[in-house]
Structure 1
Amino acid sequence: MNLSIIVAMDKNQLIGNRNKMPWYLPADLSYFKKITSKHSIVMGRKTFESIGKPLENRRNIVLTRNTDYSIDGCEIMHSIDEILNTFANSSKEVFIIGGAEIYKSFLPYVNRLYITQIDHEFEGDTFFPKIDWNKWKETSKKNAIKDTDKPYTYSYHIYERTT
């Protein structure tokens, strides 16, 4: 199984504010689309509801405890084990796209992290879980082109699990 997390965060590992991203970076959204297109994406119910629709060219999987939950264009799964079993024999990369509790739950199982690091501090209420960086090695870093109307810079990092 090739399980990855993709996330954007600020200097303090902030990822959200009131179920929304505290920033708007069109180039990062394009990067997210490029990386995740033609792959399966796994998100929690709140993340799906903040997006508001299935993302095109992806297999959309929503994780929820609610057994009556149904969304056109999405598969509903009810446990981490169900997702892990579904993709156990898959060679294709599967992306965990949020939110915070979903990231925390899947962090022990992922082998790659795609992190957009924003060089700014935002206000918010949702943070990425703590990472033991001794278990990860950075394999790629690329500075992003600054969006013309945003006063902060950001960079794309890829980390591979080492242990």
Structure 2
Amino acid sequence: MELVSVAAIADNRVIGDDGELPWPSIPADKQQYRERIATDPVILGRVTFESMLDDLPGAAQIVLSRSEQEFDVPTAHHAGGVDDAVAVAEALDAETVYVIGGAVIYDLFQPHIDRMVLSRVAGEYDGDAFYPVWDDANWQLESTTEYDRFRLEEWVRVAGAERE
């Protein structure tokens, strides 16, 4: 099973500000993001899950939460931590699972992910949520695609690289 982190990040690693994107909406980014994760399970934190209830991403949602253990959504599954989330994903027989935030979830999963798909939004923004720092020596930039207002980068963990 491949774990893939998907995020939109500014040059200063900001990913959010008070639960919102700190930059004006980028429809092309939202579209490619939604299409990428549409048919696979996603791992996300409870706050992120609750913020997306009106338009849930992924085929199933694995929600990390210390408090909530039941959700009124048939496709939502509870996980108490990283190992539990991976076990739920394996039970769903998933080939690919996307880690979609928030900041604490990205940080918890950074040592475990195999690939990062990052929408790089030009500029530095004020915010209170950041994408984790990674060691470039452990990652290889596999592809870059330029879009209007963002650049999509796909990073793959180098075989045998130390897990951060």
After superposition, the C-alpha distances for 1:82-130 in whole angstroms (9 at most, x for unaligned) are 1122334846110000001100000111000000001122221111111
Contact 1:48 1:54 in 2 (8 A): no
Contact 1:54 1:60 in 2 (8 A): no
TM-score (norm 1): 0.88
* Partner in structure 2 of residue 16 of structure 1: 16
Q: Which amino acid aligns with 2:119?
A: T
**CA positional deviation for 1:54:** 5.3
The 3-state SS of whatever aligns with 2:144 is strand
State the alpha-carbon separation in 2 of the partners of residues 39 and 140 from structure 1: 21
Aligned length, in residue pairs:
156
The 3-state SS of whatever aligns with 2:100 is strand
Q: Which amino acid aligns with 1:78?
A: G
**CA positional deviation for 1:57:** 5.2
Q: Within 5 Å, which residues of 2 pair with 1:1-163? A: 1-23=1-23, 24-53=25-54, 55=56, 58-73=59-74, 74-88=76-90, 90=93, 92-144=95-147, 146=148, 153-162=149-158, 163=161
State the alpha-carbon separation in 1 of the partners of residues 54 and 2 from structure 2: 25
Q: Please say which of residues 6-15 and 65-74 is displaced more in the overlay.
A: 65-74
**CA positional deviation for 1:53:** 3.4
The 3-state SS of whatever aligns with 1:98 is coil
Gaps of 5+ in 1: 147-152
State the alpha-carbon separation in 1 of the partners of residues 130 and 57 from structure 2: 27
| C-alpha distance 54-125 of structure 1, shift in aligned 2 (>3 A) | same
Q: Please say which of residues 75-84 and 49-58 is displaced more in the overlay.
A: 49-58
TM-score (norm 2): 0.87
Gaps of 5+ in 2: none
